[in-house]
Amino acid sequence: MGRQGARLRAFLAASALLAAGAAGASCYSQGDGADPPLDRFYFPVGLRVSHGGSVLYVANADFDLQYNGGTLQSYDLTLIRRHVLEVIKDPTNPALPWVRPPYPSKESCLAGEAPALQPNGSRQPLGETCAPPVRSEFYQRDTAVIGAFATDMLLSEPPTVAAPAVPRPYDRLFIPVRGNATLTWGNVARDTVDAIPPDSRDVAAYAPWRIDCGQSATSRRCDARHQVGEDPDEVGNTRKLRMPGEPFGATLSEDGRTAVVTHQNDTKTSLFLTGIGPTDTDALTGTAEVVPSLQFVLDGVAVGGVGLAAIPHDPAAFVDQPVPYPAFLQTSRANAQIELLRQYPDEAVDLVTLADGGTRLPSGQPTTPSTLRRPFLTREILFPITTSPSGVDSRDLAIDPTPRLACKARARTPDEVLACARKPSRLFVANRSPAALLVGEVGGTNATTGAYDPDLVTIFRSEPLAAGPSRVFLAPIVDSDGAYALRVFVVCFDAAQVFVFDPEAGRLESVIRTGPGPFAMAFDPFDMAAVARHDKVEDDKRIAGLTRYRFGYVASFTQSYVQVLDLDRRQPSTFERVVFTLGEPTNPKGT
């Protein structure tokens, strides 16, 4: 057979390997292959902005398995924001690290009349006319390697209860990773609004740039301790559990103590302790760090679990009765419903909440615990989706507490405070059949009992969207008076559009066309209470001429880059438009 036979054998072997790999390990990397690129995006799926606004954290998925893992990266957001401002002022600024040299005139962009064609007659890529791509490597600061197929990224909230005795100096990132079925986590030094990052590219120059997931200096790969869910014997996993496959959606509980993770091809939902909470001391046992651990796997939820959101409970809404245990809403691709899950502490009595957010047993109870205090989840009730003929294929969801926060800010009497605390939160669900933003409420009066039910879900409206809605984000714009005004950003993956919905007016505000396959979004840091009150946006002391909140960031999954959106209504020519392109748009290999 000669060469042909050799080719045939090689092809046969490759096909057999492909088949064996496909059948045995599904589509996941077994650790072979080249190391992933450390300084650029590769199928970004998670974006988070540090609480101080100086760092953009990015989770990359390695979706086509070109490499032996995905990455977790940090970018100098202060520098990015400064350059965004410069691009808006002058899109031809030669000092910027362009991938492609800009050609439009500064005047045409400022006038909003930029040409759609390049000088060579070819069509200018969408969004790049006045924002040609810049090299993302210039802004990248640190990278760690994680498993393939990350799906999202969570960032812990800063402590809400001050306990200065043992301050927690860091925040924590959590990434559900499908490739190895783990919840991968890492610590990052806490970034504050007052901190000023240096003009340096050295990751050591500014602590929040550095990601700590136990990675080695050479491989940059996160260690096993930072990938929980795989090992039934890991610390804190007293039930000896292993996380099911295909983790997908994730959310943190309201107090941050637990993380809940969906599994998209299974009827299970996993519960983790995060090792941190609303107090600075939650993360430490003595001087030892408390690490995340898998606690419980709930079975029986609808298959195709995707979106998760924690229901906000206001303690002021519960007079002479305990605040409900943490509750979560979960969506499903398969069923036209939203499920209510609740987390219990596995204790026979209601714990007393202390002033610092900690808990203790009530008086009269034995001091020796009679249980192992292992939290667990239950599946309480289903809320059907009736606002469309199908209602299936629900994706992300978001719960907006600002009606309650705004009302409480205006309340004067205890009765008013109670009424405001019981005001329903708004609920937004991305649904694909048909493409729609489902609008509803969480909380209200139970029609049967007449009692206040903080977890009652009502979906009453369906706003049409373009194809493929995937993610829902709550974030403000800067309104015409310089104040925060909340918006709902719905990312439509298939249509490459971001729909901006005004929840207070109850109507669509605009549609932003983005690069192909938008998925993750992040925003400059903001405080939801300040948004609810419509506080004025403060100036950013680090960058002259910029407010502390102004930009949104949307990652193109398909072309592996990040676009920056201007969210300042006072800038009519750039409002809700792409103003900066971070990284070179790159099509997936083979396309």
Partner 1 sequence: MSRYVKGRKRLALGFLAVLAAVAMAVVLFACTQTPTPVPVRTFERAQKVDFVCLRMTKDLPDGTRQVIRPEGRPVNECTPTPADEDGASFTNQLFALVTQTTRGEVAVVNLTSGIIIDVSAKTPSANFLPVGANPTDIASAPDGQMTFVASAEPNKAAIYALPSERILGDKAAVRSYDAAGNAIDVPLPPDPLGLPTLASWPVCALEQAPAALSIVPRAITPGSGDPGYEVVAVLPGDRLTRAKVVTIDPKPFLRGAGLLPADAGAVVAPGSLAPCVVTSAVELAGEDLVPPAFQKGPTWPNGVPYADAGALDLTCEVPAHSARCGLPPCCATTTDGGAVDAGACARPEGDAGTIPLDVGPLEAPRVVAIARDEQTIYVADEAVPFVHVLDVSTPGAIRERAPLLATSLTDPSRPVGVRALAVSPPTRDYEKFLYAVDARTGSLMVFDVSAPSDVVRTPLTRPFPELNPFQSPDRVAFNSPVVAVEFARADVPVTRAPEDVTGLTGALCNPNPNADPNDPGILYRANSAAPSAAFGAFGPRRLRGVFAFVTLANGTVAVVDVDDWDAPCRRPARLTGAGPTFVPPQGETEPAYSSIARGQTATGTDPYSAPIAAADSTSDEAYFPVSLPHRLRSAVFLRASTTTGKQIPYVSTAPVVERRGVQLATAGNGSEATPILEPTIERPAEAATGPGVRFSFEVPDVHIDQDWSITYEGALPGFEGYSGALATEDGFESLVVRQPGARFCAKGVEDWDLGRERAAAVVSALQSAGRRPPAEAIDRRMADYVQITSDLLGPDDDYWKIGSSTEAGSCWKDIEAAPGRARYDLCNATFGAPGDESPGRDFPILEAYDDKLVLGRFFNFQTTPNATREVVYKHPTNARSLALAQCCFHGQAKFTVRGGGQWVTVGSSYGFLSHLVPGAGGRCEPSCDPREALLNARAPGVPRAATGDAPAISRDSVLALRNPVFSFFVENGIAVVPDDNGGSRVVDAPPLRDTQWRFTTRGQFQSLSVAIGGQSTSVSPQSMRFIPPLGQVAVVDAASQGLVIVDLRTVSIARSPFF
Interacting residues with partner 1 between 81 and 140 (CB under 8 A): none
The number of angstroms, rounded, from the C-alpha of 216 to the middle of its chain's C-alpha atoms is: 26
Exposure string of 115-134, with b = 16+ CB inside 10 Å and e = fewer, is eeeeeeeeebeebbbbbbbb
Stretch that binds partner 1, among 132-140, 152-160, 182-190, 435-443 (CB under 8 A): 435-443
- For partner 1, which is the closer residue by CB, 39 or 64? 64
- For partner 1, which is the closer residue by CB, 171 or 566? 566
Beta-strand runs (E) in 115-169? 133-134, 140-146, 154-155
Question: Which residue from 411, 528, 529, 543 is in contact with partner 1, where contact means CB under 8 A?
Answer: 411
CA distance 472 to 329: 14
Q: What is the DSSP string of 500-526?
A: EEETTTTEEEEEEE-SSSEEEEEES--
CA distance 146 to 375: 28
Please count the other Cβ atoms lying within 10 Å of the Cβ belonging to residue 75. Answer: 29
Question: Which residue from 321, 353, 359, 587 is in contact with partner 1, where contact means CB under 8 A?
Answer: 321
Question: Which residue from 182, 402, 425, 462 is in contact with partner 1, where contact means CB under 8 A?
Answer: 462
Q: Which amino acid is at 332?
A: S
CB of 105 to partner 1, least distance (A): 24
Query: Strand 133-134's sheet: what is its strand order?
Result: 133-134, 578-582, 561-566, 551-556, 518-523
Using CA atoms, how far residue 363 sits from 349, 352, 359, 360, 366, in Å, is: 11, 9, 12, 9, 8
Q: Helix-strand-coil percent breakdown of the chain, rounded to 5?
A: 15, 35, 50
Dihedral sign, Cα of residue 360, residue 363, residue 365, residue 366: positive
CB of 304 to partner 1, least distance (A): 10
CA distance 557 to 70: 13
Q: Which of 94, 36, 109, 92 is nearest to 560 (CA)?
A: 36
Q: Which amino acid is at 589?
A: K
Stretch that binds partner 1, among 41-49, 52-60, 161-169, 475-483 (CB under 8 A): 475-483
CB of 296 to partner 1, least distance (A): 12
CB of 244 to partner 1, least distance (A): 15
CA distance 565 to 553: 6
| Contacts with partner 1, 228-247, as mask; x by CB under 8 A | ----------x---------
- For partner 1, which is the closer residue by CB, 26 or 200? 26
What part of residues 358-377 is at the interface with partner 1 (CB under 8 A)? 364-372, 376
CB of 200 to partner 1, least distance (A): 39
**Rounded to a whole number, what is the distance in angstroms from the first to the last CA of the chain?**
34
Question: Which residue from 6, 11, 117, 200 is in contact with partner 1, where contact means CB under 8 A?
Answer: 11
Question: Which residue from 100, 461, 538, 541 is in contact with partner 1, where contact means CB under 8 A?
Answer: 461
CB of 530 to partner 1, least distance (A): 14
Q: Does the footprint of partner 1 cover residue 380 (CB under 8 A)?
A: yes
CA distance 21 to 11: 15
Question: Which residue from 419, 528, 529, 543 is in contact with partner 1, where contact means CB under 8 A?
Answer: 419
Give CA torsion, residues 362, 363, 364, 369, to 10 deg: 50
Angle, to 10 degrees, between the axis of helix 402-410 and the axis of helix 414-421?
170
CB of 135 to partner 1, least distance (A): 30
| Contacts with partner 1, 192-221, as mask; x by CB under 8 A | ------------------------------
- For partner 1, which is the closer residue by CB, 435 or 546? 435
What part of residues 341-360 is at the interface with partner 1 (CB under 8 A)? 342, 344, 346-350
CB of 5 to partner 1, least distance (A): 9
- For partner 1, which is the closer residue by CB, 110 or 203? 110
Question: Which residue from 22, 162, 352, 354 is in contact with partner 1, where contact means CB under 8 A?
Answer: 22
Query: Which H or E run contains 408?
Result: helix 402-410
C-alpha triplet 24, 29, 33: angle, nearest 5° = 125
CB of 337 to partner 1, least distance (A): 14
Q: Does the footprint of partner 1 cover residue 300 (CB under 8 A)?
A: yes
CB of 451 to partner 1, least distance (A): 6
| Contacts with partner 1, 492-521, as mask; x by CB under 8 A | --x---------xxxxxxxx----------
- For partner 1, which is the closer residue by CB, 210 or 313? 313
Question: Which residue from 138, 575, 584, 585 is in contact with partner 1, where contact means CB under 8 A?
Answer: 575
Question: Which residue from 217, 447, 544, 591 is in contact with partner 1, where contact means CB under 8 A?
Answer: 447
CB of 407 to partner 1, least distance (A): 5
Instruction: Provide the total of helices (H) and of strands (E) in the chain, helices listed first.
Output: 6, 34
- For partner 1, which is the closer residue by CB, 406 or 522? 406
Q: Which of 409, 356, 388 is nearest to 528 (CA)?
A: 409
Question: Which residue from 165, 217, 288, 451 is in contact with partner 1, where contact means CB under 8 A?
Answer: 451
CB of 378 to partner 1, least distance (A): 5
Please tell me whether residue 273 adopts helix, strand or coil conformation: strand
Structure tokens at 59: 């989770």
Q: Does the footprint of partner 1 cover residue 474 (CB under 8 A)?
A: no
What part of residues 167-196 is at the interface with partner 1 (CB under 8 A)? none
- For partner 1, which is the closer residue by CB, 189 or 341? 341
Residue 235 sits at φ, ψ, to 5 deg, of: -60, 130
Structure tokens at 444: 């209200």
